[in-house]
Structures are given as structure tokens and as C-alpha cells.
Chain A
Amino acid sequence: MAKSNKPIFWGPFAAGGTITAFVTPVLVLLTLFAALGFVPSLLTYEHLHAFAANWLGKLVIFGVILLSLWHAAHRLRVTVHDLGVRADGMVAIVVYFIASLGTVATLFYLLRI
């Protein structure tokens, strides 16, 4: 039996699960306010732009998005298996491709701010 390479993905999954557990609910609360028409001050263009223009802000945004993406992607891979789809290799490629695309896009947009 060969040792599995799952740890590559499980590491970010576990780290991401922890970070999303701590921050995602309150972030959703902020965007929910915005969706209801009461845009919180952090989500106004000036404040969010200033936050993302700062290197520390960029790092925080990148860290949260990166880990959330890879957490969700890996869990989705397992969930698809649990729902009865047995093409795990194909599923892995699709979900990790989505996560990679999101990661690159985040990096790209952050560097343009």
C-alpha cells in the first residue's frame, strides 16, 4: 500500500475549515446588510479599497479567500463521492481547478488594487 497524497489537500482543508468557522458567519452578516440595502462602512468603495490597498489588508483578504476556497473544494469532492458519484479523479480535477482559478483571480485583482 502506497502512502496517500491526500495530505496536500487535507492541510488546507483543515486550516480553511478553522478560518471559515471563525470568520465566514460575520462576513456573511456584513454582505447580508449590504444585500438589504444598508451597506456597512467597511463595504463602501472608499473603505474597502483602502483596506485592500494596504499590504496587510491584501494578506488578510488573500488568506481568507485562499483557505475558504480550498476548504470548500476539498469537502465538495468528498460530498460528491457521498452522493454516489464514483469518478473521484475527475471530480478532484474539477473542484481543485475551481479553487486554483479563484486563487489566481484573487491574486490578480489584489495586485491591481
Chain B
Amino acid sequence: MSRKPYIREISKTNWFFSQPRYMRYMAREVTCIFILVYTILLVFALKNLAQGPEAYAEFLEALNSPLGILFNLAALVAAVYHSTSWFNVTPQAMPIQRGEEFVPGNIIVGAHYGGWVVISLIVLFLGV
């Protein structure tokens, strides 16, 4: 008896619509676009900063626009989603074993969230 296995094709371009968990994964992955564009924005801020007060004032003026507000809002959502998705999997990537037990995952995640809050408060305190 000859075999004739049937192969089910998977779409290479829209496979992630098939399951909610794949959608969550893609949402996590596309945060990188906002991180990348935002970091490039920081490089431009640096460029104008190096060129002197007038150029830097122009940068701030360009930022103070509907597009600037919209982008920063979107980047904020993306950045927060990246942070939570990153911290939530830290116990999987970096489990900590103490003797005959693993440190519970929620303690590792909690420590990251705690550090995140502290760093954010320090930056806000010094920056605003």
C-alpha cells in the first residue's frame, strides 16, 4: 500500500490571525517598530541639541504638533505593552533556583515591575 500524506498549507502572510495567542505575539513583536522610530527621534533630538539652542527649539516646535502627540501616545502604548510582555516572561527565561526550590515566578516578575516603577519615578522626579 503506497503512502500519500496530505500536507495542509499554512499562509506565510496571515497565519497569525488563526489564534488569539498568535495575535498577542504579533502585537508584542510590532512594538519594535515604535521603539525603533522613537529611538531615531531621540537621535534627531541629539542632532539638534548639538547644533545649538535655535536648532533644538525647532525640534521642540516640530514635536509640538498633532502628529507629535499622536506618535507619542501610540509609542507610549507600545512601550508599556513591550515592558509588560517582557517582564511577564522573565521567570521562564531566567529562572532562579535557591537550593531545592525555584524562586516563585511572581516574585521575579514582581521585582521587575517594582524596579520599573522606581526607575520611572526617579526619571520623572529628576526630569519634570
Q: Report if A and B touch in the complex (beta carbons < 8 A).
A: yes
Enumerate chain A interface residues (CB-CB to B < 8 A): 17-18, 20-37, 39-43, 45, 48-49, 52, 61, 65, 68-69, 71-73, 75-76, 78-79, 82-84, 86, 98, 102, 105-106, 109-110, 112-113
Query: What is the size category of the interface that chain B forms with chain A?
Result: 35 or more
Closest CB pairs A-B (n = 4): A84-B13, A42-B127, A72-B36, A75-B32
Neighbouring B residues of A73 by C-beta, 8 Å: 36
Residue B64 CB within 8 A of the other chain? yes
How many A-B pairs with Cβ below 8 Å?
A: 152
Question: How many Å lie between the Cα of A22 and that of B53 in the bound state?
Answer: 30
Interfacial residues of chain B within 46-91, with CB under 8 A of chain A in the complex: 46-47, 49-50, 53, 56-57, 60, 63-65, 68-69, 71-73, 75-76, 79-80, 82-83, 86-87
Q: Does B103 contact A (CB under 8 A)?
A: no
Q: Are A35 and B119 CB-contacts (below 8 A) given A21-B82, A45-B57?
A: no
Contacts of B87 in A (CB 8 A): 21
Which residues on the B side are within 8 Å of A36 (C-beta)?
A: 64, 69
The CA-CA distance from A109 to B126 in the complex, in Å, is 23
A32 to B53, alpha carbons, bound, how many Å?
Answer: 20
CA distance A49 to B45 in the complex (A): 11
Q: Which of A17, A18, A26, A72 contacts B120 (CB 8 A)?
A: A26
In the assembled complex, the CB of B91 is this many whole angstroms from the nearest CB of chain A, namely 14
Cross-interface CB contact of A35 among B32, B33, B64, cutoff 8 Å? B64
- Give the complex CA separation of A108 and B26 in angstroms: 34
Once A31-B63, A52-B49, A61-B46 are accepted as A-B contacts, the answer to whether A72 and B56 lie under 8 Å apart by CB is no
Residue from A21, A49, A113 having most chain B Cβ neighbours under 10 A: A21
Determine whether the beta carbon of B126 is less than 8 Å from that of A71: no
Q: Are B75 and A28 in contact (CB under 8 A)?
A: yes
Contact in complex: B40, A102 (CB < 8 Å): yes
Identify which of A29, A61, A110 gathers the most chain B CB atoms within 10 Å of its CB.
A29
